[in-house]
Amino acid sequence: MAGIVEGKVALVTGAGSGIGRATALEFARQGARVVAADIVTESAVETARLIQAEGGEAASVHVDVTDEAAVAAMVEFTVSEYGRLDCAHNNAGILGPLSDIANYPREEYDRVMAVNVTGTWLCLQAEVRQMLTQEPPVGGHTIVNTASVAGLVTNHTIPAYTVSKHAVVGLTSSAAQSYGNQGIRVNAVCPGTIETAMSLPFRSESAAPSPTRIRQAIDRNGLPEDVATLVVWLSSSASSFITGTPVRVDGGALS
Ligand code: NAI
């Protein structure tokens, strides 16, 4: 049976671990050719290897999403490898320290903004520039940004991260409005607590103080695969009337 993104070309940032790796694998399982991009080169290489070991097609590329030239080179690499770019998942992100605003170090704030906001902006910009040169596939070109439930509500323990993910949601709706009639759909996923290294302070097994934990309707940690299947569905023609939407995948944490 054909996959839901059969024949498409997908680019995933932050593909070396966690949610990004799971999404890269799911894209390949659903028939896409995949470029796995990460600042940790070996981890992106390993993701591509895992895809190839399952019989999929994948390549890897080093990128620091805060570096405009490197981001442009990443998109060029994708096109040189596979001829076009149909689906992008802008997922690279960092948490930054747990701290209140008064004590938040300026350099940490700058780093969170650089990766989560400027990085997502630069990737989206380069991807849109490429997509506008192409004939849209059925269901449109797609961009899915990884925001967070912290892009919809406040988590006061991670103020800079909260600001950055609200910005990702804003960027998503702005880009969706701009390019909806030019064959590009832009959505965001808003994960709750997903089992990756990043979420350790928020998980039930964490020793961190209780204000960092979030109560959920479904009482388990999310898995990277819970996010991956949503990202790939938002990248398929099955979701062709959905754009500009931040979609929660949080076990009902905000319900
Ligand atoms: P992770 O730490 O496993 O993955 C993040 C990936 O991004 C890593 O492979 C890292 O090397 C890469 N990366 C970091 N800075 C980069 C840069 N400048 N350029 C390129 N790549 C870079 O964490 P996880 O959980 O998989 O996070 C993925 C996304 O999901 C992030 O945007 C995060 O904010 C978001 N998220 C995660 C949640 C969770 O509970 N794990 C909840 C909500 C959102």
Q: Which atom of ligand 1 is nearest to the CA of 195?
A: 41
Beta bridge partners, 188, equal 145, 246
Span 231-253, pLDDT tens digits: 999 999 999 999 999 999 999 99
| Confidence band of 204 (pLDDT split at 50, 70, 90) | low
Could you give the CA distance from residue 187 to residue 189 in angstroms, rounded to a whole number? 7
What pTM does this model have?
Answer: 0.97
Q: Answer whether residue 13 shows pLDDT above 50.
A: yes
Could you give the CA distance from residue 106 to residue 146 in angstroms, rounded to a whole number? 24
Q: Answer whether residue 142 shows pLDDT above 60.
A: yes
Relative orientation angle of helices 41-53 and 18-29, to the nearest 10 degrees: 30
DSSP-derived letter for residue 137 is P
- 44 CA distance to ligand 1 middle (Å): 13
First vs last Cα of the chain: how many Å apart? 36
Dihedral angle computed from the Cα positions of residues 213, 218, 222 and 225, in that order, rounded to the nearest 10 degrees: -170
Residues touching ligand 1 (Cβ under 6 Å) are 13-14, 16-20, 38-40, 43, 63-66, 91-94, 115, 119, 146, 148, 191, 193-194, 196-199
- 108 CA distance to ligand 1 middle (Å): 16
Per-residue burial over 201-238, b = 16 or more CB atoms within 10 Å of its CB, e = otherwise: bbbeeeeeeeeeebebeeeebbebebbbbbbbbbbbee
- Asked about 104 being catalytic, the answer comes back as no
| Confidence band of 182 (pLDDT split at 50, 70, 90) | very high
Query: CA distances (Å), 240 to each of 187, 229, 233, in order?
Result: 11, 16, 10
Q: Answer whether residue 209 shows pLDDT above 60.
A: no
Q: Quick one: average pLDDT of 136-159?
A: 96
The tokens for 75 are 């998109």
Q: What are phi and psi of 38, to 5 degrees?
A: -160, 155
What percent of the chain has a predicted confidence (pLDDT) above 70? 96
The answer to whether the beta carbons of residues 109 and 32 sit under 8 Å apart is: no
Span 66-90, pLDDT tens digits: 999 999 999 999 999 999 999 999 9
Cβ neighbours of residue 233 closer than 8 Å, sequence gap 6 or more: 4, 239
